[in-house]
Structure 1
Amino acid sequence: MRSMGGDQVEEAVASCVTLLRTAVEQDWEGTKAGRLDWSCRETAEHICGDLIAYAGQLAGRATKAYMPFDIVMEDGTDNAGHLDVIETTGALLAAAVRTTPREVRAFHPYPFRSANREGFAAMGVTEILVHTHDIAEGLGLAYEPPAELCADVLARIFPHVRPGDAPWPTLLWATGRGELSDRAPLTEWRWNNNLVIPAERLTLQGVTPAAAADLSAGGTGGFEWVEDGPFEGTRSAAGMVAKSYEAGTHRPEWGMFVLVRTEDGRAVGGMGFHGAPDEDRRAEVGYDLAESARGNGYASEALGALSAWALSREDVDVLFAAIDHTNLPSQGVISRAGYTRVSEELETYAYEEQGLERSLRLYARES
């Protein structure tokens, strides 16, 4: 997995200024930037403002709101000067991303009120790419950034968007700027930073499609694991996330989470859902831990937090798990997390009508 970090921010900045320096003699102030209401000059200022704001969020460890500052260009700053500031603010964001510890999260309003360093890097790259497109469109320039960079962004903050074979047109479509023959145009759009759910000694960190693909292929997914992790069930679940992303059916909050110990930032296991809630408002949970992390109550603690989060939503009434009748430790985990064995009648129905293996036992927790 290629990390999303300072290198990618600098790559995006380079793609922007290399193109736009060829047009510094044009009228940016009097030219509208593509479909935007802003001029090309205002759009360049917007890029600078976003980059410095994201750097400030990470550097200042802001947790409740945006840092209360903005960037203002000096009177008389020309087009070339605006590009200098894009390079400068891009360098500041790249530095902030590189020097921010992995576990730090800072405030960003959408959708879950925070983002980590990869999220801020991906948001910064997106702002650079799509607004360079806007300026280029207004100035009559052809622009196409590196395909791998676009794919990196899509796999991190657009997990709900089917990637397709052409990353740049897909990113333009995902941001309401382009058309794809097999998809309806977008009039509204949002990116999606990963959800993090706190527990007492752990955090449950939502796995992006990029991290899922890496885990499935034998990598770390960008996490620092205990010595014998991740366990095989985590890699298998990550493969399911990667496949659903490629198919365009992935719903990020109903995917997979990695359990990370607060005390040392080490990942100890995986947990999540087998898919979004069905028409009866039911969702299935699953989990596993690295062997060295078992016996500490981590799974029960995490499952309790995940279940409370899910059952607080309006689209879920019941969570359930299917556990082998010989797996006594897992039965203990599920029971301590507030789940109870379903009735014999419901279990029989699952065996006979839904094809549940008879070696499995059903446990459920209701809202």
Structure 2
Amino acid sequence: MGGDQVEEAVAGCVAALRPAVERDWEGTKAGGLDWSCRDTALHVADDLVAYAANLAGRAQDGWVPFGLTLDDGTDNAGLLQVVEAAGALLAAAVRTAPRDARAFHPYPFGSADREGFAAMGVAEVLLHTHDIARGLELAYEPAEELAGSVLTWLFPHVRPGQAAWPTLLWATGRGELPGRAPVTGWRWRNNLVLPTERLTLVGVRPAAARDLRLGGDGGFEWIEGGPFQGTRDAAGMVVKAYEAGVLRPEFGLFVLVRREDGRAVGGMGFHGAPDEEGRAEVGYDLVEAARGRGYATEALRALSRWALARDDVRLLTATVDGENLPSQAVVTRAGFHRATVEEERTAHEQQDVERANALRLYLRRA
């Protein structure tokens, strides 16, 4: 997801709407919206410029305080030119932003990275072009791959359907899908990022998780020897949960990125969302070259603080091999304590007895 996708989305928008520039956009409502077609097109341009400005300016506390207005007398053809220019600005901002750049966006965690801003720009264009085309009774359907990218980057909580475009329309309250209830309220979701002194824990989206599972780098620059197999296995868990429609992305996988050079050194995350009793299990691994430097402890402390500050998490667990003394030291330094014999027996009662006896259970409570 990047500048190319932004430009592709905008080109599709302009191609779909240009045949109707001589019609009355101001007096025609856009699909199911309260806005006119003209207001909706201006909204698209305004959002594209706002995303570009926030990303380029690294805004941290709110939107850059300006708005987009049209010159008096601007016709519909001129408005489409503004949309094209705004898309070009966002594409340029995305292409020139560093990998670790983040800027303000309110939902749900207060910021987005360059891929997130690109995805939001594409989503605005695709969805509102659909709205305008409906109002003007024009045919419009974006490329399936483009709609699918929006789903995997911004809607990780939505179970994918047989076709991406109808699924995206359904997920945003614009259509129906067989077997699924109508959507009456929705939000997209940028990924969660947690900073520490030396690391950044970057939430992994389904698209990146799929790449990691298949042997790729997930869009990260890894130190030599990475990623470790445990990270790839955890990425597979994320993909499985996404495909089943049960993924809560903030309780998925995080890649540990070293702040000094932007290189990934390991993975850490949850084995799933907290259960009804507020229990969640954590796991982690580091590339061998990064071990022995306290990275895992630093990251686990940050992830644990974030989780236990939530209302839906009351207990974190970590299962460590009995012979893995370095990993046991990590969880202990991160505030976990060894479970009692009874607690271990209860936790392992569904596991193979021989395997369970080789494991050690550690707990950290809110």
The alignment's TM-score, normalised by the length of structure 1, stands at 0.98
* AA partner of residue 189 (structure 2): N
Q: Deviations over 1:150-208 (max 9, x none)?
A: 11111011100111111001111111111111211111110000000111110111000
Identity among equivalent pairs (%): 70
Deviation at 1:352, TM superposition (A): 3.4
Alignment of 1:118-133 (within 5 A): 118-133=115-130
Match of 1:366 in 2: 365
Q: Deviations over 1:95-127 (max 9, x none)?
A: 000000010100000000000000000000000
* AA partner of residue 220 (structure 1): D
**Alignment coverage as a number of residue pairs:** 364
* AA partner of residue 53 (structure 1): A
1: distance between equivalents of 2:235 and 2:350? 29
* AA partner of residue 236 (structure 2): G
Match of 2:96 in 1: 99
Unaligned runs of 5+ in 2: none
1: distance between equivalents of 2:357 and 2:150? 44
1: distance between equivalents of 2:347 and 2:128? 52
Deviation at 1:279, TM superposition (A): 1.2
Alignment of 1:276 onto 2:280: no
After superposing on structure 2, the runs of 4+ consecutive aligned residues of structure 1 that deviate more than 4 Å are: 353-356
2: distance between equivalents of 1:127 and 1:77? 22
2: distance between equivalents of 1:191 and 1:351? 37
Unaligned runs of 5+ in 1: none
* AA partner of residue 262 (structure 2): G
Match of 2:158 among 147, 161, 173: 161
Alignment of 1:136-155 (within 5 A): 136-155=133-152
Deviation at 1:351, TM superposition (A): 3.4
* AA partner of residue 271 (structure 2): H
Match of 1:255 among 252, 274, 281: 252
Deviation at 1:81, TM superposition (A): 0.6
Deviation at 1:350, TM superposition (A): 2.7
SS at match of 1:224: coil
Q: Deviations over 1:263-292 (max 9, x none)?
A: 111100000000000111100000000000
Alignment of 1:326 onto 2:348: no
SS at match of 1:361: strand
* AA partner of residue 215 (structure 1): L
Q: Deviations over 1:56-96 (max 9, x none)?
A: 00111101110001110011111111100000000000000
Give the CA RMSD over aligned residues.
Answer: 0.9
Deviation at 1:354, TM superposition (A): 5.8
Match of 1:199 among 180, 196, 201: 196
Q: Deviations over 1:282-303 (max 9, x none)?
A: 0000000000000000000000
